[in-house]
Structure 1
Amino acid sequence: MKLPICVFDAKNAVLCPQCEGKVDSGDLTRADVDASIILANTAKSNNDIENFTLFSCKEFDGNFVLFLAKNDIMTIRQSRTLYRLLQDQFKGKIWLVEADETDKKFIEDLFFPTKILSINSVWAPGEIQKTKAVVSGKWTPRFPIDTEKVIKIVKSARNLDIEIEFEDKR
C-alpha cells in the first residue's frame, strides 16, 4: 500500500515527526491523513485494498475526493461491496478520481457511471475559462449524482467554472 503518510503511521493512527512536519508545512492535508488511516484500517479486513495507491485526498464540504491509481479505481468500481465498505468509513460521500489526469478525465470520473457526451471549454474575455459538460440522458429527480456537488468539487479542485447540461432537456 502506498499512502501520502507512512504506512506504519496509517496503521497506528499516529503521525511520526516527519509526517507531522508535512502536515504543518501544508504538503499534506488533514484529509490526506484521515483517508490514509481509513484505508490502512480497512485493508486489515480486505486484501484488495492492501495494494492500493492513494496519491492524495481533498475534502470539500464533507465530500472526499480520493486521488487513486487507475487500477485501484477499477477494483472499487467492479465491487459494489468494496465501494460500500469504503463509503461507510468516511463521514461524507467519496468520489473516486485518477491522480494526475486531465480536466476532462477528472470530470468524467466524478460522473461515473453516467456517460458524458462532450466536454467543451471556451475562453471568455478577461482570461476566464468556461467549461460545459453534456451528460447523456435526461435529468430526473432520481438522477444518482448531485450535479451541484460536482460543480463545487470541480471549482475547488481544478478552479474551473463548469456548466452541466443534459442531452434531453427537462
Structure 2
Amino acid sequence: MVKIPFCEFCVKTRVLCQKCQSLIDSGRYQWLDVEVSDALLKVSKKINLADVEYVKSYEVDDLVIVLMRNVKRIPRGAYVQLEKELSSQLGRSVKIVEHGNVNEVIAQLVSPARLLTISTSWLPDGTTETVVKIPSRELRRLPIRPERLQAIIGQISGANVKVELVRERELRA
C-alpha cells in the first residue's frame, strides 16, 4: 500500500480527524494533497505501490505535480499507467516527480525538454539564486511555461529560482 500522510479513513470520507486536520491547518499540506492521496489509494488497487511514499502535490494551471519517494522503483510501464490513472481520477494532467535533490527534481520537471545547465549563484546579500538554462528551441517541449516553472521550482525547493531561455548563438559566443 502506498504511504500517505493522512489516515486512510479520513481521506476516503473527507472528514478529517484532529491529526489530519492539523496537517492542513499548519500549511504543510492543502486539500489538493487529500484529493491526490485518495486517488493514489484507488490506483494502488490496480498498480503495486508498496514501497512508494507520497510527499506533496503542487498545482500549476491545469497540471498537478505529484512529488513521491521511491517511484523510480516501479517499472516504466506502471509509472506511465500511474500518471494516466491519476489524471483520470483528478480530471487534470498529472506529472509524477521523484523527490530527491533539487537538480534531479528540476530535470524531471523540464522533461521532455532538454536542460542545458543548473547553476547556483551566491548574491552579495548572502542569499543564493538557482539559474536554470534551457535552449529556446526547446520551449515548445516544456510541459510548463517558463515563468510558472520558475515559481513551482521555487515552491518545491524553497530557493530563489530563475529560468532562462538561451539561444544557441549565445552559447557559441
TM-score, normalised with respect to structure 1: 0.75
8 Å CA contact 1:62, 1:91 repeated in 2: no
Residue 143 of structure 2 corresponds to 145
Matches within 5 A, 1:21-170: 21-44=22-45, 46-49=46-49, 51-70=51-70, 72-73=71-72, 75=74, 78=77, 79-99=79-99, 101-135=100-134, 138-139=137-138, 142-146=140-144, 147-158=146-157, 159-166=159-166, 168=168
For structure 1, list consecutive stretches of 5 or more residues without a partner in the other structure: none
Tell me by how many angstroms 1:5 deviates. 0.5
Separation in 1, partners of 2:40, 2:106 = 24
Query: Using a 3 Å threshold, how does the CA distance of structure 1 residues 163 and 26 change in structure 2: closer, same or farther?
Result: closer
SS of the residue aligned with 1:47?
coil
Q: Which moved more, 1:89-98 or 1:104-113?
A: 89-98
8 Å CA contact 1:76, 1:83 repeated in 2: no
Quote the RMSD (CA, aligned, Å): 3.0
Separation in 1, partners of 2:76, 2:164 = 23
Q: Which moved more, 1:33-42 or 1:87-96?
A: 87-96
AA of the residue aligned to 2:10: D
Tell me by how many angstroms 1:77 deviates. 5.0
AA of the residue aligned to 1:35: V
Query: Using a 3 Å threshold, how does the CA distance of structure 1 residues 51 and 103 change in structure 2: closer, same or farther?
Result: closer
Query: Using a 3 Å threshold, how does the CA distance of structure 1 residues 139 and 117 change in structure 2: closer, same or farther?
Result: closer
Tell me by how many angstroms 1:51 deviates. 4.9
Residue 4 of structure 2 corresponds to 3
Tell me by how many angstroms 1:66 deviates. 1.4
8 Å CA contact 1:154, 1:162 repeated in 2: no
For structure 2, list consecutive stretches of 5 or more residues without a partner in the other structure: none
Separation in 2, partners of 1:76, 1:87 = 18
Query: Using a 3 Å threshold, how does the CA distance of structure 1 residues 56 and 116 change in structure 2: closer, same or farther?
Result: same
Tell me by how many angstroms 1:29 deviates. 2.2
Identity %: 22
Tell me by how many angstroms 1:165 deviates. 2.7
8 Å CA contact 2:119, 2:131 repeated in 1: yes
Query: Using a 3 Å threshold, how does the CA distance of structure 1 residues 117 and 87 change in structure 2: closer, same or farther?
Result: same
8 Å CA contact 1:139, 1:166 repeated in 2: no
When the two structures are aligned, how many residues end up with a matched partner?
166
TM-score, normalised with respect to structure 2: 0.74
